[in-house]
Amino acid sequence: MQRRMVDSSALNSLGYDPSAKILEVEFRDSGGVWQYFGFSSTAYKKLINSDSLGHFFVTKVKGRYPELRIR
Give the pLDDT score at 1. 86
Q: Which long-range contacts (CB under 8 A, 24 or more apart) does 29-32 make?
A: 31/71, 32/69, 32/71
What distance in Å separates the CA atoms of residue 62 and residue 36, rounded to the nearest whole number? 9
Q: Write out pLDDT tens, residues 47-58.
A: 999 999 999 999
- Beta strands, E only, 18-65: 22-27, 33-37
Task: Specify the pTM.
Answer: 0.94
Give the pLDDT score at 45. 97
What distance in Å separates the CA atoms of residue 44 and residue 12, rounded to the nearest whole number? 16
Return the domain boundaries, the chain. 4-69
Q: Write out pLDDT tens, residues 4-24.
A: 999 999 999 999 999 999 999
